[in-house]
Amino acid sequence: MSTPNILILGAGYGGLLTTLQLQKKLNYNEAEVTLVNKHDYHYITTWLHEPAAGTSSADHARVYLDEIINKDKINFVKGTVASIEPQEQTVTLEDGQVLPYDYLVIGLGSEPETFGIEGLKEYAFSIRSINAVRHIREHIEYMFSKYKNEPDRTDYLTFVVGGAGFTGIEFCGELGDRIPELCKEFDVDRELVKVYCIEAAPTALPGFDPELVNYAMEILEKKGIEFKIGTPIKQCTPDGVVLATGEEIKSKTVVWAAGVRGNSIVEKAGFEVMRGRVKVDEYLRAPGYENVFVVGDCALIFNEEGRPYPPTAQIAVQEGETLGENLVAMLRGELPHKFVPHLQGTLASLGKGEGIGQVGSKKLFGSTAAMMKKASDLRYLHKIGGVGLALKKVKL
């Protein structure tokens, strides 16, 4: 019998944790494991709002895969997946390579959900990769330098963040810290810089406890962020945004942070999806396929009340770990475990030393929440790369 071939697409939280479990638990020759990823690094998506604003470097948010992957056990292919052919059990890369599989793990992450709003795809930035955040940071700096040469152009100093969910709020926290530094560097009066956080829902941070939401908004308002809540964006243009109220905000920087959908490659492969996400079974299998598994933002799972879990790194990590163990069990003819998420709480940063969080029934504010977030980062780094990586990366 030939050695089974496990192909893992994407080295994000879900794909990487599946890979690391297989690396740890499989014996040599039990399976051929191949990981395909666009880049030769894993990025810590939950930190990307920092390099996007320029409060930390993009390099800090990435971990080179050769630091954590044992190439004697895992074949790594640096490549971009172009398509998945589930009927043929193959995956095609942009360079034309065709990779066959016996078991497929899809962990290709997400794409921005634009809800059909005109112009967002064309004119808005989104915080989604190392390349994207480097672009946002440089663009923001460029806007300050351009303003110094065209001082009547206040649109250069106007920044729009679309969405006051998790990502939008965390990005605003960092922008609130970064703008005073940029004002100093470029000799710009802080009063001239406008940062709008625009949210269609009736509250910021929907789903969070109202006391925590108020705390977050107060902190961010003190940092100069202006909220427009319950105010949908109707259109994004090269000159800014038009709101449903008819108001137009002139801005050369619109960052869309209001939701994601699963990677479009999955839908194009013919899997049944809701907002690009595959409704997987309790073993994380795609419907109709015994050998195709989906993890992270590409997978859709529901809680006991039938509501979908939001896509989070926390769930992606747990899915990756369970799937890795299940693949080992299946190869050994043992029974797999059902996937059940264990939510450990939610933590959001609000810039340096500030945050909010909900852990069980406990609400956390300010530096306590910020410290808890650091502790959770530390745990993750330790999980993927041991003490060495944790010590190298964590910022205390």
Ligand X SMILES: Cc1cc2nc3c(=O)[nH]c(=O)nc-3n(C[C@H](O)[C@H](O)[C@H](O)COP(=O)(O)OP(=O)(O)OC[C@H]3O[C@@H](n4cnc5c(N)ncnc54)[C@H](O)[C@@H]3O)c2cc1C
| Residue that the structure tokens 């043929």 belong to | 88
Between 117 and 130, whose beta carbon lies closer to ligand X?
130
Between 15 and 86, whose beta carbon lies closer to ligand X?
15
Count CA atoms within 13 Å of residue 394 on its CB side: 21
Catalytic residue list contains 30: no
Neighbours of 335 (CB within 10 A): 8
Between 14 and 324, whose beta carbon lies closer to ligand X?
14
3-state secondary structure at position 38 = coil
Minimal distance, residue 233 CB to ligand X, in Å: 18
Between 81 and 327, whose beta carbon lies closer to ligand X?
81
For ligand X, the binding residues (CB under 6 A) are 10-15, 36-39, 45-46, 48-49, 80-81, 107-110, 127, 166-167, 170, 263, 265, 296-297, 311-314, 316
For residue 308, the surrounding DSSP H or E stretch is none
Candidate list 50, 113, 170, 199, residue with the active-site label:
170
Minimal distance, residue 186 CB to ligand X, in Å: 25
Buried b (16+ CB within 10 A) or exposed e, 121-158: eebbbbbbbbebbbebbeebeebbeebeeeeeeebbbb
Between 119 and 355, whose beta carbon lies closer to ligand X?
355
Minimal distance, residue 242 CB to ligand X, in Å: 25
How far is residue 226's CA from residue 371's CA, in Å, rounded to a whole number? 26
Q: Identify the bridge partners of residue 157 per DSSP, sorted by sequence position.
A: none
**Contact partners, residue 222, CB within 8 Å, separation at least 6:** none
Closest by Cα among 357, 284, 279, 369 to 318 = 284
Minimal distance, residue 11 CB to ligand X, in Å: 5
Q: Which residues are catalytic?
A: 170
